[in-house]
Structure 1
Amino acid sequence: MDSVEERTIQEIRGSYIIYLPKEWCIKNGIRKKSRVRVRYAGPTLFIEALNEISNKKVVTIQIHKMNEKMLQYIIIALYLLGIDKIRLISRRNISLKERRVIRRIIESFTRYVISYEGKNFIDLSCSYIQYDIWTSIFKVFNSLASILNYFLEILTRKDKFSAEDLEEIEAIDSEIDLLRHDFERMFSKSLINLKSEVNLDLKSQDILVRIVIIVERMIDHLNALARLSVENGHSLDAISTYIAKLNSTTNHIIKILENIRDTKLYGIKLNNFNGVIQTLIDIIQVKVTFHTFLERDVIIDIVKYHILRLYDYITDITELLLDWIVKIYYIDYEHMLHM
């Protein structure tokens, strides 16, 4: 159970002293000469017991009590929560078919690997990931840009999507799903353990996780549009202008993210703050205009729905970026100046 209390700082021989809560010390085996890890970010100080055992915890799942889909969602949820070790156990011997299902689940949706297995159990452990959060976030947006360019190329030729085109988009979609799981896991571990595997504060991590989730939903809608063309023969020629605008907006967002990355990594003040804010405001305001244009254009309702959702989502991303940039400019950078 979490506990919050105020304590008074003491000064002894020129050093500042704070007494640790006795209950916390007992619970974590802290005694005289025990070592702790001290971390700080801005005004926040973290004290972590080095013999803390939560990372060693093994979650046990009784798999004979559940079907394949239930097992899939539970394993994904535990991955997102930051659990490193899972034991899958059954009252009976685990069949070859069940083992194949488990392998498919962990390979498709997580980065767990099978570390050990017996007749009636399988141990999973998370393969170590050295998070490069900026490489990952740019990979997410470059994937979105690739799909939009793919759409534009096909629409320019006035072709319909083929089954091969759809497979390629679905492959990118699956890759983004896994990256989204990685981002959520990273954030969960930061919240649970009060320490980060990446050099970003919790608010910044929260914004990135929400952005990646939104991009994943955008790709789902693009996937659905391609599927309409393949399976129902719907022409998508009328949406080329909207796709081009989405592509242009995505490229603007990538440049803004590069600006944020340089600020976060190197402590450089945001380049052209007013210009960046105005660009984001312009993107937000375009949404209203495009809603009006869509109502006028002759586009079937299901296609119109997907385009509207895409513009809603790109606006959501823009608003999150605007909040993040204001935080960096007025709070993070000002704090750095006074350190």
Structure 2
Amino acid sequence: MNKPLRRLQKIKGGSFIISLPSEWVRQHGLTSGSELLVYNSGGSLKVVIPTQPNNARELELTDIEYTKYLLSSYYMQGVSQIRVYSKGVMGQEQKRELRNLQLSHAGLQVEEEGFDYIRFSVRAQEPKDIRAEVERFGSQILQLVRDLARAAAQPSKEMCEDIYTRCDQLLKNYRLIIRTLALGSQREFELNLGLPTKDLILYAVAVRDLGRTLTHIKNASQTLMKDEKGSSVLSNTLNLVSEMFERALRMFLTEQLDGVQEIRESMKKVEQLTAGDVNAGSDFAKSVVRLASYSVALMDDAVHKSIRV
């Protein structure tokens, strides 16, 4: 297969130029003097036709839960202006639920409202060092797993409520990281994360797995709060899960795969320990196994990220 190679040419003044395929120029209606965006992208140089972002959406309020779901999805995919409207006067309870989304979505603000609409804008500071942000996010989740292990030994309402509340706060961070990755892939010249396309995809997959880990910690704390039955076996198992998670996170960030076999063996041990406990089959025991499985998923993300062709 012939590679589409083109030669650099040096011009007066020390600059370099390269010709563009005439077919591509004609296809996009470009002429001499047309402006193009040229920028560095993960070690490659990209040439892009400037476009205006489609970052405004309107939502008709029908079902409040469905509307909140869509609004959150628009936020995470990089939309910056979201207007929710209704055919009649919007109920105060519905408005209250919509306003409360400001607490769980960083930078989401009510810009304007009337009897039958409410308009949000997003003024978030998206992090540019995505590796550092994921490392910080993962470290906070790791501490939650460790604290869940402590709570499992001698559960108390205060411990479980603390874990539950911290999970909610971290889910806010999760949504901002997803938004950052979405903008970095769609508007790279505005928010250049400096990652190759493959790494950008795998960061998104890994953050999704971290988000699911967080959701299971939250659910587990809620289950533990209801039962309040301690289990030294499940507590020790969660300590093992925290070791799995810490190793998998480090592998993803460093691409050093020295812990793959240990994580796989630990997963088998987690399944054996939970099956042999008196609480085997309980919702909490199932959550422990799910948490371990997402450490394995994060390990898989690390392995895939390390393979380059």
What TM-score range do you get, normalising by the shorter chain? Answer: 0.7 to 0.9
| Alpha-carbon contact 2:106-2:173 (below 8 Å) kept | no
Q: Greater relative contact order (Cα 8 A, min sep 6): structure 1 or 2?
A: 2
Q: TM-score, normalised by structure 1?
A: 0.75
Cα deviation, residue 72, structure 1: 0.2
Question: Hey, what's the Cα distance between the residues in 2 that align with 1:317 and 1:301?
Answer: 25
Secondary structure of the structure 2 residue equivalent to 1:38: strand
Cα deviation, residue 326, structure 1: 3.2
Partner of residue 83, structure 1? 79
Question: Hey, what's the Cα distance between the residues in 2 that align with 1:300 and 1:293?
Answer: 9
Question: Hey, what's the Cα distance between the residues in 1 that align with 2:84 and 2:223?
Answer: 40
Cα deviation, residue 188, structure 1: 2.6
Question: Hey, what's the Cα distance between the residues in 2 that align with 1:258 and 1:59?
Answer: 35
Partner of residue 204, structure 2? 209
One-letter code aligned to 1:122: I
Question: Hey, what's the Cα distance between the residues in 2 that align with 1:290 and 1:93?
Answer: 54
Question: Hey, what's the Cα distance between the residues in 2 that align with 1:10 and 1:159?
Answer: 69
Partner of residue 315, structure 1? 296
Secondary structure of the structure 2 residue equivalent to 1:125: strand
Partner of residue 14, structure 2? none
Q: TM-score, normalised by structure 2?
A: 0.82
Secondary structure of the structure 2 residue equivalent to 1:53: coil
| Alpha-carbon contact 1:92-1:120 (below 8 Å) kept | yes
Cα deviation, residue 13, structure 1: 7.7
One-letter code aligned to 2:70: I
Listed one character per residue, the Cα deviations across residues 6-61 of structure 1 (whole Å, up to 9, x for unaligned) are: 97858878743113433423xxxx554332211244685432233x1124x42122
Cα–Cα, structure 1 residues 242 and 41, in superposed 2: closer, same or farther, change >3 Å? same
Cα deviation, residue 73, structure 1: 0.8
Question: Hey, what's the Cα distance between the residues in 2 that align with 1:10 and 1:238?
Answer: 66
Cα deviation, residue 107, structure 1: 2.9
1:136 equivalent to 2:130? Answer no
**Unaligned residue ranges in structure 1 (runs of 5+):** 1-5, 261-275, 332-339
1:16 equivalent to 2:42? Answer no
Cα–Cα, structure 1 residues 130 and 307, in superposed 2: closer, same or farther, change >3 Å? closer
Superposed counterparts of 1:249-288, under 5 Å: 249-256=244-251, 259=254, 276-288=256-268
Question: Hey, what's the Cα distance between the residues in 2 that align with 1:198 and 1:283?
Answer: 30
Question: Hey, what's the Cα distance between the residues in 2 that align with 1:257 and 1:62?
Answer: 41
Superposed counterparts of 1:69-218, under 5 Å: 69-109=65-105, 111-131=107-127, 132-155=129-152, 158-162=153-157, 164-193=158-187, 195=189, 196-218=191-213
| Alpha-carbon contact 1:161-1:226 (below 8 Å) kept | no
Count of equivalent residues: 297
Cα deviation, residue 315, structure 1: 0.8
One-letter code aligned to 2:99: R
Cα–Cα, structure 1 residues 197 and 106, in superposed 2: closer, same or farther, change >3 Å? farther
Question: Hey, what's the Cα distance between the residues in 1 that align with 2:26 and 2:235?
Answer: 65
Secondary structure of the structure 2 residue equivalent to 1:223: helix
Higher helix share: 1
Cα–Cα, structure 1 residues 161 and 216, in superposed 2: closer, same or farther, change >3 Å? farther
Identity score, percent: 12
Question: Hey, what's the Cα distance between the residues in 1 that align with 2:215 and 2:231?
Answer: 16
Question: Hey, what's the Cα distance between the residues in 2 that align with 1:81 and 1:226?
Answer: 29
1:219 equivalent to 2:214? Answer yes
| Alpha-carbon contact 2:149-2:236 (below 8 Å) kept | no
Cα–Cα, structure 1 residues 314 and 254, in superposed 2: closer, same or farther, change >3 Å? closer
Question: Hey, what's the Cα distance between the residues in 2 that align with 1:191 and 1:31?
Answer: 27
One-letter code aligned to 1:16: I
| Alpha-carbon contact 1:149-1:247 (below 8 Å) kept | yes
Listed one character per residue, the Cα deviations across residues 68-89 of structure 1 (whole Å, up to 9, x for unaligned) are: 1111011012112221212223
Cα–Cα, structure 1 residues 240 and 16, in superposed 2: closer, same or farther, change >3 Å? same
Secondary structure of the structure 1 residue equivalent to 2:170: helix
**Unaligned residue ranges in structure 2 (runs of 5+):** 12-16
Listed one character per residue, the Cα deviations across residues 208-250 of structure 1 (whole Å, up to 9, x for unaligned) are: 2222222232233333333333212333322122111122233
Cα–Cα, structure 1 residues 97 and 309, in superposed 2: closer, same or farther, change >3 Å? closer
1:291 equivalent to 2:290? Answer no
Secondary structure of the structure 2 residue equivalent to 1:92: coil
